[in-house]
Structure 1
Amino acid sequence: MQGTVRNIFWIGVISLFIWTGCKEPVEVFIPKGDDGQVFAIDTEDSEIPYVVIDTRGASIPYEPKVQAQMKIYQEKKLIQTQLIDIEYRGKTSFRLSDKKGFNFETIDEAGEGIDVSFLGLPKEEDWRLIGHVVNKSEKYIWDRSLMFNQVAYDISNQIGKYASRGKFVEIEVNGEYMGVYYLCEKLKRDSQRIDIKSLNTSSTNLTGGYILKIDKADAGPEHDGKPLSYFLNNWDDDARYTSQNSFRSGYDVFRKQINFEAFRPPYHPDQYLETYFMYEYPKAEDITGAQKIYIADYLQDFETALLQDDFGAGERSYADYIDIGSFVDYFLINELCRNVDAYRISTFLVKDRDGKLGMGPVWDFNIGFDEGDRIPMNDWVINYNNYVNKDPWMMPFWWERLMEDQIFRQAVKTRWTTLRGSTLSTGNLQKLVSDTSKYLQDNNAVTRNYAKWEVSADRTYDQSVLDLQNFLSQRANWMDGKIGAF
């Protein structure tokens, strides 16, 4: 019996061999670029640029960067090849998201930085690749629409206030498809970006230009070379302010003069009262002692004037220190987009030579719009402190105080009324969202992205787009009523 079974088995194997041997060989489709580059995924005939990044076997660190080759394809045709240095980016988003963001710098064959244009954007060497946050273990997504940052930055640029410009791309890194990203400009001093005068160690005019940030602290070069596991868990470094990287406001978030020392350990009990200003330009390692004193004194004088002016008596000496128009636009954009990170983190301030302090550019909207929790739909983001208790990064007193000035409120009203009749009309806002989503969907980028990154079925992409449109309409209408009553 066993011999009969064995014979039947071998007869079957031989028959299968003969049958398959007679068939034509099956051609396996391998997606490639026109240069032979094998893709991690079939991009079909997508017009959305496809970016292939290859570090040649090196692991990508948080810092410092490692060298890689970048290729950009459109409709599978190679349109650009560039050497880059690349590293991971972000703080909270880096730790929480499985879909990581990247910083990269364009370099030449010698490894030196070189200005390069991507996809029609002005030449520079510092760039960002920003993706939406996806946490697989806890099954949540921030910004299912994939467009929060792009929409906010477009709004800013359309009203005449520079924000980071960029293009949607899909990327693969070392053979792994990573989904839809926004390739955009790093905010930095440059004639095509933040256009302010240079300031170096030999400058005799200390008035500018400066770029400051109200933000979580940067890890700093002293952490170069530490393992990735360190940066995945370095929450303390977010609050590690030092005299080298920052200076502190003389006033707390409740307008009182601070009477305890600065630069205490991370998350000390009184941290929620403090506002720190990080040196962005000149960098912390480059700024001179005299420049530090100048800009700290300038901020102190502005804050003191803002607090001491008697608006009822017509005193507005604070206006001698700030570009009110930039403060108005910063307020309107972040409030329309309900950006709960605005004002207190991810906040840029700029002072040009012989000029006043300006707010912006706007930055980082990944938990804004209809997902901007902590602040209800029918209240201002500047009232953050009414809803959150002792956050390490609370709302500076500036905005509540500015809103007590009828002149500032009138400037907000005039600007809002003008913009609502043009750029920020409901029709234009709806079109911005629908055009962007159509571009992503028509090229099947949404399908490819969520084949990689879907974590739950709580909401479809189409619903997320509709929710975003509904939010913008409702938020703008609410702002009409509030600002109209100013």
Structure 2
Amino acid sequence: MGVMVRNLLAQLLGIATAISLAAVGGTAPVPAGAADVRGAPTAAADSPADLTGDIDFSVPSGTFQGELSVSLGTSVTGAEIRYTTDGTLPGPDSRRYDDTPLLLSGTTQLRARPFVGGAPAGDPGTALYVARAMDVSLDLPILVIDGYGKGKPGRDFVDSAALLFEPTGGYASLSATPTLATRIGYHLRGTSSSLFDKAPYRVEFRDNEDDDADYPVLGMPAESDWVLRGPYTDKALIREALTFDLARQLGYQAPRYAFVEFYLNVADRPLGAEDYQGVYMIVETIKNAKNRLDLKELDPDDVTLPAISGGYIFKFEWLTAEEPTLECVGRPATCWHYLEVVDPSPLQPEQQAWLTGHLQQFNDLMQSRSFADPTTGYPAWIDVGSFVDSLILNELTRNFDAYARSSYFYKDRGGKITAGPLWDLDITYGVGGGDNLETAGWQYEQPRWPKPNNWINRLVTDPAFVGLVRARWAELRRGPLSGAQLDARFAAITAPLVNAAERNFQRWPNLTTEKIGPIVTPTADTWQGQVRYMRDWMTERMAWLDSSAGWGGAAAAGG
């Protein structure tokens, strides 16, 4: 396959096209265990204090069927209450609450605020009431997003309600108490994946002032920014999850996640069975925050050393990098391309210039004859261990986008350039196109043009670096990548998904569809068959990496 053909395939797999990649799907089923019930909503157990403010809602946030009566009160002395149902904050001219209970018949964002003498006299409060036409009982957590009938989202944030229901006694129900009920903004994300009916979304938790609101989610630390990823071309449903888990066990940065079954209502009607979207992952975004990467934060006035030296998060996004980007000076064959700065945001001109200069020095070094000098070469510039693990993870998975897209790096203040975190791993383990479907060969040899960078290609010419990779691979094959530990990992991650996977593929019947848009995927009659394909592919891939053509005979038996 020639370079031009490979580049065309890569573009088709990675950037938006005019061709719809949506799979053919039927009417959404009512998931197993569904039963229609009626009654008042069950309220959120712990409504966030910043959301309810100084308003007492007689019925806290939750779901309901039919009609719902809600009364309002406040502890602010001598205050009258003004309220809205259109999502806007109440003002002095908003409707006055006259002590008559409000009767709701549809999904409503009820917002209220106390006023004294025509002026705000306390914190506003919001309660979220999602109308539903049914109930379900599922063995995974249930996430509901209701967009108040505004239609499918585009690239701009849409004001919506989010409710999260965790299993109690083994099952989660829409009529039960939501663990979390919050205002959110959400929008479509991704490139080619955004064209799927089962699309990915960016979610931002919001308070009453539309600022970020940090809440814990399913055991993950409190944060405001999340991504919803719905495995679609990954018909085993676990490619990203398993690799994230493996990376964290290695000590490599990777997001935490949780599986949910997702309902999305974009229509102006009660939530129904047709809103079922299947199995999704709630995933931490990559950001500089205490519970994420936790680097030194660059303030706008950090424009001199040592403060200006970090922390930064940057990534390569072949053909799709967004501003601010960093420009390399030099020959196209040895320069970097499509390098986007993720954090800080906004990036000050002085910070952009400093980071560009720092990376230019490193890139120039990597093209020199002395790049591998143990004192002045790349070991003085990069966290070598992270680059070793990055190479192993990208080659193990044969990630189609490895080294080219969603290829993250970070640099803390006074620290070295570090590879990671992992991101975007759906086109892996035998899903994609071209050479990455094969279990033999090196993914770093993929001939994309212009090449985002040649750092790994240069590193693998250094015997000392390759020696570290071989030793690390041997260590991992005796531990996390041994056959026994991988089998245990597969069993643990798939066990909770058995029933949910059946519902997912009733909703999205693509198990035997080989090509989803331009993406080549395995075919198997069952989800279990898809999981087995992935496991078998890994066995063959590791056997090649164990061989003399790979990293050389280091395997434990039974891989």
TM range, smaller chain: 0.7 to 0.9
Please say if residues 225 and 284 of structure 2, whose CA atoms lie closer than 8 Å, have aligned partners that are also in contact. yes
Could you say what the CA RMSD is over the residues aligned between the two structures, in angstroms?
A: 2.4
1:64 is matched with which residue: 137, 146, 156? 156
- Alignment partner, residue 127 of structure 2: none
**Superposition pairs for residues 193-232 of structure 1, below 5 Å?**
193-203=292-302, 204=304, 205-216=307-318
- Alignment partner, residue 30 of structure 1: 36
Q: Is 1:466 aligned with 2:532?
A: yes
- Alignment partner, residue 10 of structure 1: none
Residues 98 and 216 of structure 1, relative CA distance in 2, 3 Å threshold: farther
- Alignment partner, residue 360 of structure 1: 420
Q: Match for 2:387: what amino acid?
A: F
1:484 counterpart SS class: coil
Q: Which range moves more in the overlay, 184-193 or 314-323?
A: 314-323
- Alignment partner, residue 476 of structure 1: 542
- Alignment partner, residue 417 of structure 1: 474
CA distance in 1, matches of 2:257, 2:139: 15
Q: Which range moves more in the overlay, 33-42 or 244-253?
A: 33-42
Question: Offset at 1:434?
Answer: 2.4
Q: Match for 1:173: what amino acid?
A: L
**Superposition pairs for residues 2-81 of structure 1, below 5 Å?**
29-30=35-36, 35=42, 37=64, 43-44=136-137, 46-73=138-165, 74=167, 75-76=172-173, 77-78=176-177, 79-81=179-181
CA distance in 2, matches of 1:216, 1:395: 6
Q: Match for 1:404: what amino acid?
A: T
2:189 is matched with which residue: 61, 82, 89? 89
Please say if residues 253 and 397 of structure 1, whose CA atoms lie closer than 8 Å, have aligned partners that are also in contact. no
**Superposition pairs for residues 132-151 of structure 1, below 5 Å?**
132-133=231-232, 142-151=233-242
- Alignment partner, residue 281 of structure 1: 343
CA distance in 2, matches of 1:311, 1:185: 36
2:501 is matched with which residue: 438, 443, 446? 446
- Alignment partner, residue 226 of structure 2: 127
1:117 counterpart SS class: strand
CA distance in 2, matches of 1:47, 1:99: 21
- Alignment partner, residue 297 of structure 1: 357
CA distance in 2, matches of 1:68, 1:433: 35
2:329 counterpart SS class: coil
CA distance in 1, matches of 2:316, 2:394: 15
- Alignment partner, residue 254 of structure 1: 333
- Alignment partner, residue 245 of structure 2: 154
Question: Offset at 1:250?
Answer: 3.2
1:483 counterpart SS class: coil
Question: Offset at 1:186?
Answer: 0.5
Q: Is 1:306 aligned with 2:343?
A: no
2:430 is matched with which residue: 364, 367, 370? 370
Greater helix share, structure number = 1
Q: Is 1:330 aligned with 2:390?
A: yes
Residues 192 and 356 of structure 1, relative CA distance in 2, 3 Å threshold: same
2:220 counterpart SS class: coil
Structure 1 alignment gaps of length 5 or more: 1-27, 134-141, 218-237, 258-273
Residues 313 and 434 of structure 1, relative CA distance in 2, 3 Å threshold: closer
Question: Offset at 1:87?
Answer: 0.9
2:211 is matched with which residue: 112, 121, 125? 112
Residues 312 and 447 of structure 1, relative CA distance in 2, 3 Å threshold: closer
Question: Offset at 1:86?
Answer: 1.0
- Alignment partner, residue 382 of structure 1: 444
CA distance in 1, matches of 2:244, 2:159: 29
Q: Which range moves more in the overlay, 418-427 or 332-341?
A: 418-427
Q: Match for 1:350: what amino acid?
A: Y
1:413 counterpart SS class: helix
CA distance in 1, matches of 2:149, 2:278: 21
1:370 counterpart SS class: coil
1:93 counterpart SS class: helix
Q: Is 1:402 aligned with 2:464?
A: no
Q: Match for 1:318: what amino acid?
A: Y
Residues 113 and 189 of structure 1, relative CA distance in 2, 3 Å threshold: same
- Alignment partner, residue 245 of structure 1: 324
Q: TM-score, structure 2 length as denominator?
A: 0.67
Deviation readout 1:60-105 (Å, 9 max, x if unpaired): 433321221111113213222122111111112112x111111111
Please say if residues 303 and 318 of structure 1, whose CA atoms lie closer than 8 Å, have aligned partners that are also in contact. no
CA distance in 1, matches of 2:553, 2:478: 17
Residues 465 and 455 of structure 1, relative CA distance in 2, 3 Å threshold: closer
Number of residues of Structure 1 aligned to a counterpart in Structure 2: 400
Question: Offset at 1:484?
Answer: 2.1
Please say if residues 350 and 358 of structure 1, whose CA atoms lie closer than 8 Å, have aligned partners that are also in contact. yes
Identity %: 29
Please say if residues 185 and 203 of structure 2, whose CA atoms lie closer than 8 Å, have aligned partners that are also in contact. yes
CA distance in 1, matches of 2:154, 2:508: 22
Question: Offset at 1:245?
Answer: 1.8
Please say if residues 434 and 465 of structure 1, whose CA atoms lie closer than 8 Å, have aligned partners that are also in contact. no
Q: Match for 1:479: what amino acid?
A: L
Please say if residues 139 and 500 of structure 2, whose CA atoms lie closer than 8 Å, have aligned partners that are also in contact. no
Question: Offset at 1:178?
Answer: 0.8
Greater strand share, structure number = 2
Residues 54 and 407 of structure 1, relative CA distance in 2, 3 Å threshold: same
Please say if residues 397 and 428 of structure 2, whose CA atoms lie closer than 8 Å, have aligned partners that are also in contact. yes
2:551 counterpart SS class: helix
Q: Which range moves more in the overlay, 29-38 or 148-157?
A: 29-38
Q: Match for 1:69: what amino acid?
A: A
Q: Match for 2:36: what amino acid?
A: I
- Alignment partner, residue 200 of structure 2: 101
2:404 is matched with which residue: 313, 337, 344? 344
1:308 counterpart SS class: coil
CA distance in 1, matches of 2:374, 2:214: 49
